[in-house]
Copies of this chain bind each other. A is one copy, B any other.
Amino acid sequence: MIVYMKRGATEEQIKAVLRRIEEYGNSYNIDKEGEHVLIGIRGDTRAVSEGVFEQLPGVARVIRVSPTWKEVSREFKPKDTSVDIGNGVKIGGGHFAVIAGPCAVESYEQLIKTAEVVKAAGGHALRGGAFKPRTSPYAFQGLGEEGLKYLKMAKESTGLPIVTEIIAINDIELFLKYDVDVFQVGARNCQNYALLKELAKTGKPILLKRGMATTIEEYLNAAEYLLSHGNSNVILCERGIRTFETASRNTTDVNAIPIIKQLSHLPIIGDPSHSTGKRNLVASIAYALAGAGCDGLIIEAHYNPLLAKTDADQQVDGEELKRIIKKSIAIRDIVEEDVSKLYNGGTK
């Protein structure tokens, strides 16, 4: 961390900065740029707050050069992490997996028919929401426990591991009871640290979606909550960010894929259904995400999308899912060399 003093900062002001550095137990180096004094803070600065220095008299700016996360980083663990989500399915470290299924579990019939479609299309796991966080309190909030029951039945029938969203600490026991394979944390709860800390304790694979306005730095810090509390079975997921553009529901931040792969060993998948919000964009964006080097996809699918009750416009049918999976894998194969080259120091 670098503390950049204002032009004309007094000796006394500089000393006050040095005192706070010493209180943190760090050492320092003093340098000059033009008429400005720069104070470099040495040692571990993860617990050091920029604000503590920014507010001291005579300070112009404070610049953090080392990240605040640790265990999620490539520096901590250079090799790719591969997360085992059950029934032989792995994500990351060379394993590309597609999770698919309906936005919401609506009935056993809808779920099992869709699960069979997913399996036939080559999908590796089944998704489906039982507890739905909806913008409006008057919208369908999900089947709750009943939905979990159907998911368990669908897994028993198809062998597909199940992935479903958890929105409250109180539901953890229920999720364990129904043998949920992957606990999904949705975009709105990406920085719900109380939930993350409790989920870490379960040791279960966590699919942590990026928040709509979460920077990559904040996102990796959120993942660090899971790892630093003992759970490294974490799958990241780019699901679109919020920007000024309203032509699609969100903006797919495809840059985030290679950036996160460089910074972190965790697997990252893409969610073209939410990052576009339109069924007729899902295939193109699935291919874009695969081209960017992601480790898998999560796609909303429905045995008959025209009948869906939620997010109806972004669910694809079985035929399209099959084509998307096949082509995404073909594209991911083409880029494999670049991905490992780029992330392992082959190119600057």
Chain A's interface size range is 35 or more
Inter-chain CA distance A335–B286, complex, in Å, is 11
Residue in contact with A283 in the complex, picked from B229, B251, B290, B338, CB distance below 8 Å? B338
Does A176 count as interface, using CB distance less than 8 angstroms?
A: no
CB-contacts of A170-214 with B (<8 A): 170, 188-189, 191-195, 211-213
Bound together, the chains give a CA A193 to CA B347 distance in angstroms of 36
| Residue in B32, B137, B217, B276 whose CB lies within 8 Å of A225 | B137
Given contact pairs A213-B213, A247-B259, A138 touches B65 in the complex (Cβ within 8 A): no
The residues of B that contact A44 with a CB separation of less than 8 Å are 34
Q: Is the CB of A66 within 8 A of B34?
A: yes
Copies in the complex: 4
CB closest chain-B residue, reference A63: B63
CB atoms of B247 and A251 under 8 A apart: no
- Can you list 9 A-B contacts with CB-CB less than 8 angstroms, sorted by A residue number? A33-B41, A55-B348, A137-B225, A169-B169, A213-B242, A216-B245, A217-B247, A257-B288, A287-B291
3 pairs of A and B residues whose beta carbons are closest in the complex: A213-B213, A287-B291, A291-B291
Listed in ascending order, the chain A residues whose CB lies under 8 Å from chain B are: 1-2, 4, 7, 29, 31-34, 36, 38, 40-47, 49-59, 61, 63, 65-66, 68-70, 75, 131, 133-140, 167-170, 188-189, 191-195, 211-213, 215-218, 221, 224-225, 228-229, 241-248, 251-259, 262, 275-276, 278-281, 283-285, 287-293, 305-306, 308-315, 320, 323, 327, 330-331, 334-335, 338-339, 342, 347-348
With A51-B310, A215-B244, A245-B255 known, 20 other A-B pairs at CB within 8 A are A33-B40, A47-B140, A49-B310, A51-B311, A52-B308, A52-B312, A55-B279, A59-B348, A137-B224, A167-B192, A168-B195, A213-B213, A241-B251, A242-B244, A247-B255, A247-B259, A251-B255, A280-B342, A283-B338, A287-B334
